[in-house]
Structure 1
Amino acid sequence: MNDFDQFGVTSEGFVVKGIDRVIADQQTRARAMFGSDVDLTSGSALRKVLDTAAIHVHELWRGLEAQYYANFATTAQGASLNLLGTDIGLERRRLQATGEISLTLTGAEPQRRFVLPQGTLIETVDPPRKRLRITAAVRLSANAPPVTVGVRAVERGPDGNLPAGQQLRIEPTWAQLRLNLGSATVTPTNPEPIRGGELVEPDDVYRSRLLGVPRTIWTQDAVLAQILDVPGVRDAAIFDPLGGVDASHRRFNTYLFGQRPFSTQRHSGSPYYFDVVVAVEPGWPWRQTDGDIPAVHDAVLDVVQQWRPVSIFPNINPANQVDVGVRATLLVQPGHNPDAIKGEILAAVQDGVDRLRLGRAVLHSDIVLTARSTAGVVDVQNLRLRRCAPVFGDISLSGAVFGNAQELSVGENLLLAPDEIARFAIDSPLIDIQVSSQ
């Protein structure tokens, strides 16, 4: 440990000399130079000069401390962190512009309701077209007032900014594939500008990206880091059966060291394939025919091909999306709005599920804690998780279940296979929450 006599770079890091120690050292040197009887009382001229100089000396020490810690990604800030990113070829990213738009439904049947899912693609009518995505599901009905919803630009940077009062529309190809509006028309407008693209990501986000950069050329982590940086990718996983030792396999303990390899050998000259599973953010097109913006599959393929060695090829597949629901009874205090409480809980659960990665289970305890943390909720009773996997699955690398709807027991977690990812929609028919007053 520091013995309070070592300053500057030490084994514990950089130790700053305090202002009291600076003043004491200056007074010691003054007595050595002018004699032990020199006047260093608070009213003397020499003491005032020394105290003024001590402030500047202390600031110098603080500057040296900042310069020392600017050399490490874990402690650098601002421009110093930018320089560290430049050294490894990872620049600080621009943010996506955000704002709000208003959606108006016209020409719809009186009793019919429409739901625009999260990720619905909005674009400007006049070229060059700028594209936005709504950040939450929206319910629209005839003779109802316009609905306001948040949006986020597809492109990063200032090009995603949009002045107020632009002529907007739902992207036609996206609407044709995912919506059934019939004779109805949805008109988006932006009364306020969409802005924020000129800003850059904060230090903590940029720092986590720098710390996660692999220092190797060809490993699963190196390829995965590049895939996760592709726009529209929520999460990804690489399944490489010939990539090395996997102690989770049952055959692991059957190998004889020095006689057989841990994985199946590839025939000399034959191509080698590995699987990439990609979970896409809501609304992003998988193939180019699914929308008029860069498809996630093609973008991921371009990235992997730049990083793969010769004769090693990727099989890129979409992740199996599992729709998650919940059935429960909420006991609330009198005087609280049941609909507001239910909406707040569903929004919090959606945020929590959206942060889950591939293969991560939806925990029963997390949902209960989210509900009980909501103001006005007294108790949560008989909470059961529900799952509804897609009827037709694209892949099944790790035990994904297709076409199987389940309601789990009270207290049971919703477990997912490594190639499955959870999705929670606040308008899902799997949600059944009853609210009763205490």
Structure 2
Amino acid sequence: MTDQTPPTRPVGPDPPADDGYGVTADGFVLKGIDRIVADQQARARAMFGSDVDLSSGSALRKVLDAAAIHVHELWRALENQYYANFVTTAQGEALTLLGLDLGRPRRQLWATGEVVLAVQDQGPDRAVVVPQGAAVRTVPAAGKPLVELRTTASATLDAASPTATVGVRAVERGPGGNPPDGADLELEPHWAEVHLALGPATVTVTAQGPITGGELDEPDDAHRARLLGVPRTVWTQDAVLSELLDIPGVRDAALFDPLGGIDTSNAAFNTYAFGQHQFTAGRQTGSPYFFDIVVAVEPGWPWLPEDGDVPAVRPAVVDVVRQWRPVSIFPDLRPANQVDVGLRATLVVEPGHDADAIRGEILDAVHTAVGRLRLGRGLLHSDLVLTARSVAGVADVQNLRLRRGAPVFGEVGHGGAVYGDARELSVGENLALAADEIAAFDLDSPLIDLQVVNS
């Protein structure tokens, strides 16, 4: 006789109703494996009776547990599909498709690797300094593509150290920036003539292993950050800056627009009596409207075409702004003033630590931190102290003073830059920069004076 006893509910607190799962007002609520197992056991009791054997060793329990795993995977797939519709949560190919909808395809990376720089015939007591951003290219050959690279660190070559190994990064994103295996390299002749005073010396370049990586796509976090920054309007400062920062060789950019653009909320526009008097004494009716764009370039990138055969930054900026500016709105493009910064301090290290290694690690950390600074962003004394103390083996940082060199003249004066000004600040004083200045930190800068003593 069939047992007519109604099935009992699973032991424990009542689970939430099924309508509490899936797409809800708070997002997608995933049904957990425990809830799936409880539902399946409840249905088994309803079908086979409340006395059905659902112990861990029963055959029915093993079948239900195996099915529960597949059901849970289905719920996880549904959750992923739901969150793939939003830029903040999408991953992988879903994020790529969202970028295509916004007109921002996922970018490929730059090829990277290392090269060996070697100097010959430099003469006695003479050193050749190859700065960061030096232009390197494959030697032109018939039937082979010309690949351009940039060095990512500076190198000093002399009689005591005639060779140096530095990193390089391709100028072009994608597989086109991967030099062919075994390709011969050289300093770009025009760039070297403009930026290096080699005299009788010659500098050769040899690849230290393969230079690859251009075939890889940028990671999700970098692509997501670009998509979240896409402006939704055609003409705003953010819209123009978003386009400028995508130009190869642009480290940062800033717009100086005193009237606020064409959609200004300046109070003067609300009080102007049209037809009664002139708006300003120096402007005539029908004259174009101008604003300033200050661009900071990455080390070594040429601003003008005559500075080297590598694609210059200014023409690329002009092409981009031309597509975004309204009629009769014209930009005045100017390079930013690069300010070399340094520091003087005494490091107290714990016994048993390599003083040279600690010094190099601190300088690398400062170089990375300064490289992230934006236009007009100064250097905080407290940040450098924390950076130095975070290095293993450093017991104390004493008498840390920031130094600044004279800014490179960039023909801009929005923030009151003082040319020819080089000074050392007091202990605890922050290094402030003008709105048109950007900080640069060279690992071989004469502004660096780090003394290391044992505790």
Using the TM superposition, give the Cα deviation of residue 434 of structure 1 relative to its aligned residue in structure 2, in angstroms: 2.0
Alpha-carbon distance in 2 for matches of 1:96, 1:411: 39
CA deviation vs aligned residue, 1:244-276 (integer Å, no higher than 9, x gap) = 6999xxxx8xx6895359xx7775421111110
**Matching residue within 320, 332, 337 for 1:320:** 337
SS of equivalent to 1:433: strand
Aligned pair count reads: 428
Shift in alpha-carbon separation, 1:376–1:122, aligned structure 2, 3 A = same
Shift in alpha-carbon separation, 1:223–1:171, aligned structure 2, 3 A = same
Q: Which residue of 2 aligns with 1:30?
A: 44
Alpha-carbon distance in 1 for matches of 2:131, 2:268: 54
Query: Match for 1:303: what amino acid?
Result: V
Q: Which residue of 2 aligns with 1:103?
A: 117
Alpha-carbon distance in 2 for matches of 1:23, 1:256: 69
Q: Which residue of 2 aligns with 1:259?
A: 271
Alpha-carbon distance in 2 for matches of 1:392, 1:234: 17
Query: Match for 1:372: what amino acid?
Result: R
Shift in alpha-carbon separation, 1:50–1:342, aligned structure 2, 3 A = closer
Deviates more, 1:86-95 or 1:382-391: 382-391
Using the TM superposition, give the Cα deviation of residue 365 of structure 1 relative to its aligned residue in structure 2, in angstroms: 0.9
SS of equivalent to 1:89: coil
**Matching residue within 372, 383, 398 for 2:389:** 372
Using the TM superposition, give the Cα deviation of residue 197 of structure 1 relative to its aligned residue in structure 2, in angstroms: 0.5
1:389–1:402 contact (8 Å) kept in structure 2: yes
Kindly report which structure 2 residues correspond to 1:291-330, keeping only aligned pairs within 5 A, or say none: 291-330=308-347
CA deviation vs aligned residue, 1:190-220 (integer Å, no higher than 9, x gap) = 1411001100100000000010010111111
1:163–1:192 contact (8 Å) kept in structure 2: no
What is the TM-score normalised by the length of structure 1? 0.92
Deviates more, 1:32-41 or 1:54-63: 32-41
Q: Which residue of 2 aligns with 1:240?
A: 257
Note the residue ranges of structure 2 that are not aligned, 5 or more in a row: 1-14, 274-278
Query: Match for 1:20: what amino acid?
Result: D
Q: Which residue of 1 aligns with 2:27?
A: 13
SS of equivalent to 1:115: strand
Cα root mean square deviation, aligned: 2.1
Kindly report which structure 2 residues correspond to 1:144-293, keeping only aligned pairs within 5 A, or say none: 144=161, 146-243=163-260, 258-260=270-272, 267-293=284-310
Shift in alpha-carbon separation, 1:318–1:205, aligned structure 2, 3 A = same
Query: Match for 2:33: what amino acid?
Result: I
Query: Match for 2:421: what amino acid?
Result: N
Shift in alpha-carbon separation, 1:425–1:56, aligned structure 2, 3 A = same
What is the TM-score normalised by the length of structure 2? 0.89
Query: Match for 1:173: what amino acid?
Result: H
**Matching residue within 134, 156, 161 for 1:139:** 156
SS of equivalent to 2:140: coil
Using the TM superposition, give the Cα deviation of residue 331 of structure 1 relative to its aligned residue in structure 2, in angstroms: 2.0
Using the TM superposition, give the Cα deviation of residue 164 of structure 1 relative to its aligned residue in structure 2, in angstroms: 4.1
Query: Match for 2:411: what amino acid?
Result: D
1:165–1:189 contact (8 Å) kept in structure 2: no
Alpha-carbon distance in 2 for matches of 1:368, 1:292: 41
Alpha-carbon distance in 2 for matches of 1:430, 1:331: 20
Alpha-carbon distance in 2 for matches of 1:236, 1:126: 34
Using the TM superposition, give the Cα deviation of residue 145 of structure 1 relative to its aligned residue in structure 2, in angstroms: 5.0
